Amino acid sequence: MPRGRPWDCRSRLRSRSAVTLPTGRDEAAPTPAEAVSAKVASVQPVGGETAGQPVAIESFLAELVVFREAAAAALDGVADSAGLEQARIEFLGARSGRLKAIQKLLSGLALADRPAGGRHFNEAKGAVTALFAAVADRLAAGGAAGATAAAIDVTLPGEPVRLGHVHPITQTIRRVQEIMARLGFESVDGPEVEDQWHNFEALAIPAEHPARDPLDNFYLAVARGSDPLLLRSQTSTVQIRVMENRQPPLRIVSLGRVYRPDTADATHYPMFHQVEGLLIERGTTMAHLKSVLRQLASSFLGGDVHVRFRPSFFPFTEPSVEFDMEWGGRWIEMGGAGMVDPAVLAAVGYDPEDVSGFAFGLGVERIAARRYGVADIRDFYRNDVRFLRQF
Ligand code: PHE
């Protein structure tokens, strides 16, 4: 037959399935024992033998082989003691068992063949009897499940269970939330997909502001009406969301992901995490801001950490600063902060003459890298367990 032709292959598959699939009439495929019985019948019909008829030693031995195979196959399928007893009667039954029928053939063997025939007969009988005993033991031990359980060597050393743990960034987030909670700041969440109002406008970042440049933001292909949506570029969005829904006094902290199309390097990644803090009360000053930042830094990094402000600019704070922390003899740039701009307070319906507040934002990766001595923030996202296991 030519090989490798697709149409040959298809027709072969079709004809094969026509032969082997069970039909409505022929419901169950023959069990191994039935199949072997059929073989026995075709080899030599033992049932009809009468004692004393001449039997060739070859066909006698063939009977023994078939008997052993059939018994083994039948025992394989035995699931309970009733099945075992049924098989015992069929194969080893003293009156009409298949072994008994073969025994009757012994006398038909030529005299010279009888000793050999008897030896093979006893051997087959012994082997099949032993098989029955083994199955009886297996059933007594609790069936197949018992057999599996018995196969487990409980004296072998166990497999160590490897416990996972929380990612270092998540650990950092939880630690900051804990510290801030002690200072009375409640943790809140905001959405990562934002609209123009919360990411820019309410934060006094007008339409023409360079911070809204499509090259500096991940705008989405979907929009809400005519308002394009984007992945938030800062967690300051949450300040607006909270102030829109609550009245002062407020102390909240929000930690979450932000997105900027930065090229990944040792200190940048297109997705990172920010801590956003916001406090709105009567009579808030920059001194309050500085002491909160100093508390946060000292608790997080350990020891007495100094904080320094450098003048800066953010559209939504006035005055604005960037703040550094001195730790291990070095000043490290940490984030941005300032007094909430009166325009922002007005945008959410607060009275800037009545309340004031401060806000700050800092990168979670930055403080985590500082605390754990990680030189490259990309390591946090490589998911190399050899790295992650250290925390
Ligand atoms: N949102 C600013 C940033 O992402 C940080 C900031 C937060 C500045 C709050 C001032 C007040 O850079």
Integer CA distances (angstroms), 297 to 64, 243, 282, 325, in order: 88, 26, 25, 7
Which residue, judged by its Cα, is nearest atom 9 of ligand 1?
360
pLDDT computed for residue 225 by the predictor: 87
- Tell how strand 250-259 and strand 186-187 pair up: parallel
234 lines ligand 1 (CB under 6 A): yes
**pLDDT of 149:** 59
The residue type of 163 is L
Distance CA 290, CA 306 (A): 10
Q: Which atom of ligand 1 is nearest to the CA of 203?
A: 1
Ligand 1 pocket, mutate which of 234, 235, 259, 345 (most atoms under 8 A from CB): 234
For ligand 1, pick from 314, 341, 344 the residue to mutate: most ligand atoms within 8 Å of CB: 314
Determine the Cα–Cα distance for residues 360 and 112; give it in Å rounded to an integer.
Answer: 108
Q: Is any ligand 1 atom within 6 A of the Cβ of residue 363? A: no
359 CB under 6 A from ligand 1? yes
Ranges of residues in the chain whose predicted pLDDT is under 50: 1-30, 32-49, 146
Give the per-residue pLDDT at 278: 98
Q: Does the global pTM surpass 0.85?
A: no
pLDDT at 218: 97
Q: What is the pLDDT of residue 159?
A: 87
3-state secondary structure of 220: strand
**359 Cα: distance to centroid of ligand 1 (angstroms):** 8
Using one digit for the tens of pLDDT, what is the confidence trace for 273-283? Answer: 999 999 999 99
pLDDT digits (tens, 9 = 90+) for 216-252: 999 999 888 888 999 999 999 999 999 999 999 999 9
Say yes or no: CB of residue 336 within 6 Å of ligand 1. yes
What integer pLDDT is reported at residue 68 of this predicted model? Answer: 94
Q: 22 CB contacts (<8 Å, ≥6 apart)?
A: 28, 29
Is the shortest distance between the CB of 360 and ligand 1 below 6 Å? Answer: yes
| Ligand 1 pocket check for 339: Cβ under 6 Å | no
CA distances from 212 to 49, 138, 200, 348, 391 (A): 101, 76, 7, 21, 37
